[in-house]
Structure 1
Amino acid sequence: MLKLLVQKGSRSMQIIAVRKEHVRRIGLLLLIVVALVLYRLRFHWLPLIPTKMNSRKVGLQAEREYFQLEGKKLLILGGSMHYFRVPRPYWTDRMLKMKALGLNTLTTYVPWNLHEPQRGIFNFKGNLDLEAYLRLADDLGLWVILRPGPYICSEWDLGGLPSWLLRDQNMKLRTTYVGFTDAVDDFFDNLIPKVIPFQYKEGGPIIAVQVENEYGGYDKDQKYMNFVYEALLHRGIVELFMTSDNKDGLSKGSVAGALPTINFQKMDSGMTLMKGLEPGKPKMVMEYWSGWFDHWGGHHHIYQKGILNTIAALLNKGVSINLYMFHGGTNFGFMNGAQDFGTYIADVTSYDYDAPLSEAGDYTEKYIQIRELYSKYLDQELPEQPAQMYKTKYSALRVKEYIPLWEVLSQLEKPIESERPINMENLPINNGSGQAYGYTLYNTVINSGGLLHSMQNVRDRAQVFVDGQSVGFLDYKNVELAISVATGKRNLSLLVENRGRVNYGNKLDDQRKGLIGDIFLNKEPLKGFTIYPLEMKTNFIESFSTIPLNPIPENPTFPAFFYGIMHVDSLPYDTFVKLKGWTKGAVFVNGMNLGRYWEIGPQQTLYLPAPWLQHGSNEVLRFLHLKDIMEHLSSCFSKELF
């Protein structure tokens, strides 16, 4: 009997404990809901549970001299920020800082090359989850102007067009050439259904959609813009259409059914462009260039003079403004673009852009000044600025192990044998989509020395080796290289770096990389190549944790991968990898490609966001082309970019 009473008492105590835990959880849940409501009110958010209002039937209108939304005047104060340039865990932070600046609209491009990296294989997950990005903008009370391309420019490799398009030797990009339009149709068939539910009339944040991008400066096919317009319209886009052009072609980039907008930086050129806009329609600067991008070997652009006066003048005229960029972010990996207006120059990894919000999400003096200007113009108190993201400086990382590139080749898939060189895009890999980014190694055999001539068939830079020893470089300017070798068979290798495809201008069709034609030795074309694609994807980088590595000798063999462990003893924080003394290459942390570095600058560090680090050990891998003095085998971690 006593045992039974004890069991009943124990069971009763368990029931009481369960009930208490249940009540505690309900109370905690209610507390979270109340806190969330208060937090939303604090930042002027939309209602807690957004409703798809039946009254949303009109959408953004451009029938008068100002925009109207549901019959009410709307001045668009926008900011460009691209989800693919910002780590996903930071999307909320950046959008709240956008709200705190006084902006009401987010504009973003859609990078086709990331969403369809191989023909017919699509990716909308992780950092490419466009639907999550649009949903977040909606939750935070931001309107959205979507710029889906297919071409986006954006200082992004090939303007966002996938490199596999160039496998077609007759390809005519940004035209109604059937090989291009068929590919665009396939992409839009997968993209647009994801976008439709986020349109304004569906209760979503998208109030306008841009047709292509700056086509007036390209203008190779009069039928093309109408093709893109119809492709969007017939797939269910019902919001206001816009086009966007700069001084190179405002008169040629428009299409019937879309409102023209303009891009500029200086007020005098902007006023000239505005005179070409249709009277009686709203005027909008789709890209007010709040800064500028950098290229290797140049200087870091800082643009401050006149920016406030220009913005104020536009506001006084009732002109809607989109800051390009509000927050630039980073060209992680090998995604930077390039320019070629007679001379090829590649863009750096950082897309800081001297924007109001820095590459790492920090407030700048420009941000503070624009915020003050918008606050006065709107005559209202803006949302409180979110706290600054904490940065830290970690201790130096000392590299103790490495493996030469020549030893890594055995870990790769079977190389490609070819009598003549094959450009990257036409290599028979990736389900018939070729190689998009990274490096390609071309090996052959020579029987003598002499004069090596590229005939400008190296894209973009080749480091030349004889029996594994570097003997020089070939690129756009240096097309000849004298080779002095002993008689007999020698292995000749060309490590060709794709430094980034041109993203703007009339040379888009001419952006195949690697060796795009024959290389000549003493006027005879070299033959019999073994080709190794070095894409340096995440799975390849992660394999170094299982590959036997070598202690670093006094005179290491180059090029090589250098391996080290970075210890994080607390919660991870943002930092920058400082590479003083290292010449050229790329850095990978926990398999993530931070991007390129090059001693010629102006960029001197690489941004390392905290979400890519973990408490404890972090694997750091650096690919280094060449180093003459081996006294800088350590890396520092800084709080600053330039």
Structure 2
Amino acid sequence: MSSMEGLRANSSQFTLERKPFRILGGSIHYFRVPRAYWEDRLLKMKACGLNTLTRKYVPWNLHEPERGTFRFQDQLDLKAFVTLAADMGLWVILRPGPYICAEWELGGLPSWLLQDKGMQLRTTYPGFVNAVGLYFDKLVSIIKPLMVKGGPVIAVQVENEYGSYAKDDKYMPFIKNVSPQKPLMVMEYWSGWFDVWESITTSVVSEILERGVSINLYMFHGGQLWLHEWSDGLRYLQTPNYNAPLSEAGDCTPKYQLLRKLFSQYHPEPLPEVPSPQERRAYDPVLIQQHLSLWDSLHFTDKPFRSDRPSYGYTLYETTITCGETLNSGNNIRDRALVFVDRRYVGTLDYKTQELILPKGQGERTLSLLVENCGRVNYGKALDEQRKGILGDILLNHTPLRGFNIFCLDMKPGFMKSSGSWKSDIEVPSLPGFFLARLHVDGPPKDTFIRLPGAVFVNGQNLGRHWFIGPQHFLYLPGPWLRRGENQMIVFEEQKVDDKILFAENPEHGRTTDVYKLPFCTLL
């Protein structure tokens, strides 16, 4: 797909290739959809009558997970996704950031930026400017060949929602200058927010179309919940797939059918047939077979290290104490810590509970704090304050504790591959710990849903995290992540474990305002 002249807005109507053009758009986040299902989701977008993939976010924190290390392959192959959209006859409006919001941890900004204690995100602070420049140099080299006249990208929106942030009036001109020069469009097409989707009726959309106005459905397909994490700084929050026309598993909802009927009126030719839904299966329950305690797993981590700030997952802090009495966090724990004395659980510290009475004992004992990163806010002026771990003094009887050994438990796939020393005496499991089960798949793998508390890994892929405070009861497991034959399933549990893993063909969702996930589910 190419054009002699790109998108223009010189009058009351857009033009593309010098012809009137109305954007009938929808949003899909490629990083929230298994690559094997990109084609299915885009075909369903085309079959709904949309012509443009809009608000296509690019998450900096996934594409540069460590400073100077770039990932644009496999699940993160931006060029492949845009090219696939072009092959289906879809135009693309790209939103490269650097901040994207997207109900995504830290709005897509990499947490390593906060290793600079003076960091001022989304400003012309030199440390931020330099990092953005290096990232955009890499990103623009990928985007530029996809721009018209050479590809399907008809517009680029830089940054996002800066008017509500607006700390630096020099920032937006800077971002514009490090982006592709043409075409550039700093605007949005909204059809509603994720918590008011039900109020967006077809009559409203119909009125928008009758007035000749372009529209973007945000979201058309929210993608998998295992990657939708953010936080309000106090607890996990979860957008419930935005109640989008395409469900988490790619099902065409009644909303999809109504929109398809409406958009069909604005096409001279019949719309393409809707692809068949993916087959699903409720696999038989599988039994937990082996376990590995958290403490034994430390043999597979790097040697103890001293780090001011963990990025994702858990961080274990250990030191020696010689007395009991009162442990006080002073709200210096971000965000939640399980407390152990000689590796026995004694309580939890978080923003609500900042003081704990430790049991008395004789001689030296080991105090362990397993600190959980509950996610970074994705929006607002608190972005600069999203450092995680232990941020200040932890007091024991009013005396600051010192000499911590620190272990990173970020739950990356490489960590889970260290599977030695598994124990089979599952009747006496050690908690916290990892629990291993094996799912045998006969025939082609099918989509399914897992029902089980804990953080779940399937064949090394991190699906996300269940928590008993709910209300989400299931995690979506895409069929492409399974294989014929044996599949390894590992669950990390903090304080309670079931003896089996259960599956379902369809999920059950509770209240949409309180769904909880772990931040390390962003790691692909």
Normalised by the length of structure 2, the TM-score is: 0.94
After TM superposition, list the pairs within 5 Å mapping 1:427-506 onto structure 2. Answer: 435-506=310-381
**Shift, 1:237, TM fit:** 3.3
Task: Please point out which of 157, 178, 182 is paired with 1:231.
Answer: 178
Task: Please point out which of 556, 559, 573 is paired with 2:446.
Answer: 573
Give a deviation string over 1:164-211, Cα, whole Å, max 9, x none. 100000000000001000000000010101111111222x10011001
Instruction: Work out the CA distance in 2 between the residues paired with 1:318 and 1:462.
Output: 54
Residue 96 of structure 1 is matched in structure 2 by 43
Instruction: Work out the CA distance in 1 between the residues paired with 2:356 and 2:206.
Output: 56
Residue 360 of structure 1 is matched in structure 2 by 249
**Shift, 1:347, TM fit:** 2.5
The SS at the match of 2:37 is helix
The SS at the match of 1:500 is coil
After TM superposition, list the pairs within 5 Å mapping 1:61-72 onto structure 2. Answer: 61-72=8-19
Contact 1:330–1:351 under 8 Å retained in 2: no
1:554 aligns with 2:427: yes
Superposition RMSD in Å = 1.6
Q: Which amino acid aligns with 1:589?
A: V
Structure 2 runs not aligned, ≥5 long: 510-524
Residue 593 of structure 1 is matched in structure 2 by 462
1:329 aligns with 2:223: yes
**Shift, 1:601, TM fit:** 1.7
Contact 2:442–2:485 under 8 Å retained in 1: yes
Residue 316 of structure 1 is matched in structure 2 by 210
1:410 aligns with 2:295: no
Residue 189 of structure 1 is matched in structure 2 by 137
After TM superposition, list the pairs within 5 Å mapping 1:118-137 onto structure 2. Answer: 118-137=66-85
Instruction: Work out the CA distance in 1 between the residues paired with 2:193 and 2:342.
Output: 50
**Shift, 1:317, TM fit:** 2.1
After TM superposition, list the pairs within 5 Å mapping 1:156-305 onto structure 2. Answer: 156-202=104-150, 204-232=151-179, 236-239=180-183, 241-243=184-186, 260-261=187-188, 285=189, 287-289=190-192, 291-292=194-195, 303-305=197-199
Aligned length: 507
Task: Please point out which of 564, 584, 589 is paired with 2:437.
Answer: 564
The SS at the match of 1:113 is helix
Structure 1 runs not aligned, ≥5 long: 1-49, 244-259, 262-284, 293-301, 425-434
Give a deviation string over 1:131-155, Cα, whole Å, max 9, x none. 1011101111000000000000111
**Shift, 1:304, TM fit:** 1.9
Q: Which amino acid aligns with 1:640?
A: N
Instruction: Work out the CA distance in 2 between the residues paired with 1:61 and 1:136.
Output: 24
1:347 aligns with 2:237: yes
**Shift, 1:524, TM fit:** 1.1
Point out the structure with max Rg over C-alpha. Answer: 1
Instruction: Work out the CA distance in 1 between the residues paired with 2:94 and 2:322.
Output: 57
Instruction: Work out the CA distance in 1 between the residues paired with 2:250 and 2:353.
Output: 40
Q: Which amino acid aligns with 1:231?
A: V
Q: Which amino acid aligns with 1:112?
A: W
The SS at the match of 1:135 is helix
Contact 1:290–1:323 under 8 Å retained in 2: no
Contact 2:197–2:242 under 8 Å retained in 1: no
Q: Which amino acid aligns with 2:261?
A: E
Task: Please point out which of 58, 67, 85 is paired with 2:32.
Answer: 85
Contact 1:403–1:560 under 8 Å retained in 2: yes
Contact 1:97–1:386 under 8 Å retained in 2: yes
1:633 aligns with 2:499: yes
Please say which of residues 600-609 and 370-379 is displaced more in the overlay: 370-379
Instruction: Work out the CA distance in 1 between the residues paired with 2:398 and 2:410.
Output: 31
1:624 aligns with 2:517: no
Instruction: Work out the CA distance in 2 between the residues paired with 1:238 and 1:383.
Output: 32
Instruction: Work out the CA distance in 1 between the residues paired with 2:354 and 2:269.
Output: 61
After TM superposition, list the pairs within 5 Å mapping 1:1-12 onto structure 2. Answer: none
1:423 aligns with 2:298: no
The SS at the match of 2:79 is helix
Residue 116 of structure 1 is matched in structure 2 by 64
Q: Identity of paired residues, percent?
A: 51
Contact 2:191–2:200 under 8 Å retained in 1: no
Instruction: Work out the CA distance in 2 between the residues paired with 1:366 and 1:552.
Output: 50
Task: Please point out which of 378, 386, 389 is paired with 1:514.
Answer: 389
Q: Which has the higher contact order (CA 8 A, sep 6+)?
A: 2
1:381 aligns with 2:270: yes
Residue 144 of structure 1 is matched in structure 2 by 92
